[in-house]
Structure 1
Amino acid sequence: MITTAIRVARVGSAAELAAAALMMLGYPALMLAALVPSVPAFAAAAAVTYLADHYLHRKGSYLINRLSKVRAGLSIRFLIRELLLVLLLARLSLSDNLMFYGAVAGFIAFYGLQAPHGALVTLIRNRRRMPVATRNVDLKSRIRIPDAPPRWLLDRSAEKMLHLDLAAVVGILISAQTDSAAAGFAGVGATIGLGCVYVLALAPYVRGRKIPPGADTVLAAMDDWLRVHRPETVLYFSGSKDSAYQVNMWLETMEQLDSRPLVILRERAVLERLAPTTVPVVCVPGGVHLMNMDLSTVRVALYAANVGKNIHLLRVPTMKHVFIGHGDSDKLASVNPYSKVYDEVWTAGRAGRDRYAIADVGVRDDDIVEVGRPQLAPIQSWQGVPEGRVPTVLYAPTWEGWDDNPGNTSLLLAGENIVRSLVTADPPVRVLYKPHPFTGTRSAAAKAAHQRITDLVRKAAEERAADARFTADATETAAARAELARIEALLGRSSRSGDTGDDAEATRDGVVDVARFEEIARLRAEWNTAYWRSFPAWEHRVITDAEPRLYDCFNVSDAMVSDISSVVSDFIASGKPYAVTDSAELGEEEFKRQNTAVRAAVILSNGATELIALLAAVRSPAADPLAGERRELKRYLLGPDEPTSLQQFNTAVRNLAVKAAARNRGQDARATELTG
């Protein structure tokens, strides 16, 4: 019942639900206490509303966001509490008392300070938001970017300012209880005084040398850096904050390019979620600013997603444009007709080329280049289930997509059957459930199915932990958890170091420390090892965080169940058995005909009864009937193992850069002929 209430209220925990309930009930209790009247009851109810409100804000509760949409935002809640305090004074027959008028005047003056405070905070934030935000770009030596205001001034500023009324509320309540106006006037004076101090503390940051330079100066400095750095290959990306993984998957490849790389982003939300990298990064939200940027040295532009904002770079004729995507699968998105706007389309293997030929969407075969998948290097080949360990099966369904096609995801029709079959399998297996990050973002039904599967996995984990057949080395897991906590603390300090949350200062100081970068990479590898040791190897697990990453889950798994998506193509690199769900019920023959990546898979119906064959292949690799087909399919989908994918990718970049340079020379020659 509590779980249902949490889901309906869209809060994250029982404690959050309790805080929301207390805050909702607190205001009627305040009114009742004011009408009775009872100073102690009012004080108790006020304390509850203050604490519950603060807790929900700290948690970033969905409820807080919704309240602001129905005209019950933060300022209104504080104002209501103060008006009820005035009502309490009136009911105590203190309306003729000087304290009553002092309280009314004090609260009016306090709210009079909200406008200049809010204006200053907004002005500071706007002036410190530069037209470009960068990482690993040296603008510091070119323009003067002043220090950000102290974080406490701007962080949760509205909440801090409003909470200054606490002194007045406490003082007035003391006066109401003791019939002495001194405490009330002292409290009101403290509230007004602190409010004035807060406003005055903000004022210096909107004038003089504390203001960052204007847009023209910043853009000129950016162009100067570009002329010196002379980037040759650009990775361009635009998308929502939840799609940052699509650009993150290419960062390591960009770091290993033979040419000088640059990452161009269009949304600050994506920049905030960008993985650590040594590659220079420029975030340019404004289309005009991007189109005016000096990118004359760039010869190859790589696009990880088909989005409307691509046009702002596609219009540049001096570079060659390539669609590289963010995965290689048999989904319709992998043969988007929009792809014909690019000079070339790069696929992992022969399968991608054939996919475009079959789709006939206008992409010429001559414009397709097979480059492998450089990101797959961390995926380990399967050596069979280690002796004495329970086999692990990863269930990694894709998201529901933009329409209600039943073939998009197995979650809706098959997900519960798949997980139920796995958690009840005999001999037992361990289940890892890692859904797509977008799961439930569009479809309420998919969100509900995800929650039911999560509950199913967690319940099965609890039952297994209570089963005497499964034992764990408590000392080893405790040591691993301690190690995990130690590493997380180190990573937390590293990620917070120098982070003020200020756009201008992050741009100024955002040049990566290579030694620190390598240290973080080492810590993340240690974190991954400690994570898998921090619980028994037979324990079912729901994994929805970014860490551990999908490929880490591949490496600890012995088999996978998924849907038509790039996840399947990537998993094939491991050589491990896998199953794919035919949720649209096309039938095995037609399903394999339409989807190359499932040709070496166990095909599941929505009932998931075919999982028996997958588990048999895991338990007896020598008798696996699909092992040979998986090896052939791996080469077809992902290309040859030699030369390495990174070598193939670098060669493709180099060849296309030569074509771009040749075209530019030809254009210059023709222009000279026409004007000469």
Structure 2
Amino acid sequence: MQPRENTLNRRIRSAGGKFLRRFGMLPGGMPDGLGDDESLRGTTLSGDVILYFPDTADSLYQLRGWYGPLRELHRAQGLTIICMDSRVAATIRGEIDVPVVTVAQDATLDALISSSGTKLILYVNYNPLNMAPLRARSALHVSLLHGDSDKGVSVSNQVKAYDYSFVAGQAAIDRFARYTSLFDAASRCIAVGRPALDTDRAQVSSSSQRGDQPVVLYAPTWEGGQASVAYSSLRTHADPMLRSLLAAGYRVIYRPHPLTGVRVPEFGEADRAVRDLLEGGWHTISDNRPLQLDFVESDLLICDVSAVANDWLATGKPAIVTRSAGPEAQDAATRMLEVLPRLDASDAETAAELVAEQLEVDPHREERRLLTEYYLGDTTPGASLERFLAACRDLSAQRDALWSRIEGSDGMGHLPRVD
């Protein structure tokens, strides 16, 4: 194969690409690739752990949910966040006090992982760009994801790409075991609870002035990337349901998903309509508030099938889960969806009656307690964070033992030759 010539056309294309990246003119969803590669050459990262985040700003919510535990992990073992987008890296630096670098070239990434003696590489999603660090065999690769839910997308064959998956509880392990073929969930999944519930709980204090009426948190999910995961109730339930709640005198906290309307503009319009309906008065639009603050201020949750429902279990308060009106949406057959009351679109205009029953009678209190243990494990304050940190320590030690054996195979860190 003949080497490619450094032609004028190639130089022009290269210069054009650099121009587009430098001035932020790339298509949405594409990292700008403006890396710190030059300054990183020949350097090493401090600490044992890398969090790899190749995404653009639209997906930052997935990382922000881990800020609290990542701060604690940085204190314990040292952590560096590696991005592919310089704009995202700048945003993260302003939000969390851990080292953040941007790496554009695979060669730079490979050298950093190898020379730094990185033990663990963590990932908060299944982005295909994760394949770049996944090549490294000198570290263990751990999928964290960004919440545990009964959505169909929570079970993906992509989990097999990672050495381990940190999950919330036994429910997630059972879900993987049931729906993922040729995957040993019992040995590859490690239950750590939801450590962010511990760290974020410690940072939240509510100063809101409450009236006499209970507060309902409405937290719909987004429209989803495909019809089978179109769980959002915004277009089918929201308007009649909220009018029912307002007529009954309830205060509403509305917490939309960050991606609402990104794929289907009609959901953005529905979001705007909800904001207009709740504007003024004592209602709250929760765009940038901590999730735990919304939990503290609310007496009951109405949500779609999503990670919010699972995290809410730790509060011990009643919850209602909407039933998707989408003809192709697929609910997993799970204990939570069997126990918690469901709200159909056809019943949305009488939602206040169901809310009143759950608040006054709370018929599912004991069943929710059992659900909490099954989905989240021990929710004693601090227990989940300690499980997370202990799991990282244990896997770091396991990596050292495994890599020591490999290095000892020929004295050079290479795998034994197979003839």
Q: Is the 8 Å Cα contact of residues 35 and 84 (structure 2) preserved in structure 1?
A: no
SS for the counterpart of 2:136 is: coil
Query: Deviations 1:585-625 (Å, cap 9, x if unpaired)?
Result: 89xxx96x62443344221011323542322332x2xx311
Matches for 1:433-582 after TM superposition, within 5 Å: 433-458=254-279, 461=280, 539-544=282-287, 546=288, 548-582=289-323
Mapped partners of 2:57, 2:108: distance in 1: 21
SS for the counterpart of 2:224 is: coil
Matching residue's letter, 1:266? M
Matching residue's letter, 2:379? D
Matches for 1:588-603 after TM superposition, within 5 Å: 594-603=333-342
Mapped partners of 1:674, 1:551: distance in 2: 51
Indicate the residue corresponding to 2:408 in structure 1.
669
Alignment partner of 1:253 is 2:69: yes
371, 380, 396: which one pairs with 2:192?
A: 371
Query: Deviations 1:60-94 (Å, cap 9, x if unpaired)?
Result: xxxxxxxxxxxxxxxxxxxxxxxxxxxxxxxxxxx
SS for the counterpart of 2:122 is: strand
Mapped partners of 2:315, 2:78: distance in 1: 31
Mapped partners of 2:379, 2:312: distance in 1: 15
Matching residue's letter, 1:617? Q
Indicate the residue corresponding to 1:70 in structure 2.
none
Mapped partners of 1:130, 1:616: distance in 2: 54
Alignment partner of 1:404 is 2:142: no
SS for the counterpart of 2:354 is: helix
Alignment partner of 1:291 is 2:30: no
Matching residue's letter, 1:577? P
Measured after TM superposition, the shift of residue 671 of structure 1 is 2.5
Query: Deviations 1:321-347 (Å, cap 9, x if unpaired)?
Result: 010101110112211111101001110
Matching residue's letter, 1:645? S
Indicate the residue corresponding to 2:100 in structure 1.
281
Matching residue's letter, 2:48? E
The structure richer in helix per residue is 1
Mapped partners of 1:611, 1:433: distance in 2: 16
Measured after TM superposition, the shift of residue 130 of structure 1 is 9.9
Distance 1:626-1:288 versus aligned 2 partners, 3 A rule: same
Matching residue's letter, 1:372? G
Alignment partner of 1:306 is 2:126: yes
SS for the counterpart of 1:658 is: helix
**Which ranges in structure 2 are unaligned for 5 or more consecutive residues?**
1-15, 24-31
Indicate the residue corresponding to 1:660 in structure 2.
399
379, 384, 398: which one pairs with 1:641?
A: 379
Mapped partners of 1:421, 1:667: distance in 2: 64
Alignment partner of 1:324 is 2:144: yes
Measured after TM superposition, the shift of residue 269 of structure 1 is 3.0
Q: Is the 8 Å Cα contact of residues 321 and 342 (structure 1) preserved in structure 2?
A: yes
Distance 1:445-1:367 versus aligned 2 partners, 3 A rule: same
SS for the counterpart of 1:560 is: strand
Give me the TM-score of the superposition, normalised by structure 2: 0.81
SS for the counterpart of 1:564 is: coil
Matches for 1:69-468 after TM superposition, within 5 Å: 132-133=35-36, 216=38, 218-220=39-41, 223-226=42-45, 229=46, 231-257=47-73, 258-274=76-92, 276-296=95-115, 297-365=117-185, 366-377=187-198, 378-379=200-201, 389-405=212-228, 407-425=230-248, 428-458=249-279, 461=280
Q: Is the 8 Å Cα contact of residues 238 and 305 (structure 1) preserved in structure 2?
A: no
Matching residue's letter, 1:561? I
SS for the counterpart of 1:418 is: helix
Query: Deviations 1:485-512 (Å, cap 9, x if unpaired)?
Result: xxxxxxxxxxxxxxxxxxxxxxxxxxxx
SS for the counterpart of 1:671 is: coil
Over the matched positions of the two proteins, sequence identity in percent amounts to 31
Which structure would you say has the larger Rg? 1
SS for the counterpart of 1:363 is: coil
Measured after TM superposition, the shift of residue 294 of structure 1 is 4.4
Mapped partners of 2:370, 2:210: distance in 1: 28
Segment of structure 1 superposing worse, 264-273 or 345-354: 264-273
Distance 1:443-1:628 versus aligned 2 partners, 3 A rule: same
Q: Is the 8 Å Cα contact of residues 237 and 266 (structure 1) preserved in structure 2?
A: yes
SS for the counterpart of 2:342 is: strand
Distance 1:669-1:585 versus aligned 2 partners, 3 A rule: same
Distance 1:270-1:644 versus aligned 2 partners, 3 A rule: same
Measured after TM superposition, the shift of residue 420 of structure 1 is 1.6
Q: Is the 8 Å Cα contact of residues 379 and 554 (structure 1) preserved in structure 2?
A: no
Q: Is the 8 Å Cα contact of residues 265 and 283 (structure 1) preserved in structure 2?
A: yes
Matching residue's letter, 2:161? V
Q: Is the 8 Å Cα contact of residues 301 and 319 (structure 2) preserved in structure 1?
A: yes
Mapped partners of 1:442, 1:131: distance in 2: 27
SS for the counterpart of 1:580 is: strand
Mapped partners of 2:79, 2:290: distance in 1: 25
Measured after TM superposition, the shift of residue 424 of structure 1 is 1.3
Matches for 1:47-58 after TM superposition, within 5 Å: none
Indicate the residue corresponding to 1:498 in structure 2.
none
Higher relative contact order (CA 8 A, sep 6+): 2
Query: Deviations 1:421-448 (Å, cap 9, x if unpaired)?
Result: 11112xx110111110100011022122
Measured after TM superposition, the shift of residue 259 of structure 1 is 1.4
Q: Is the 8 Å Cα contact of residues 562 and 580 (structure 1) preserved in structure 2?
A: yes
Measured after TM superposition, the shift of residue 628 of structure 1 is 0.9
Matching residue's letter, 2:402? R
Alignment partner of 1:631 is 2:372: no
Distance 1:656-1:412 versus aligned 2 partners, 3 A rule: same
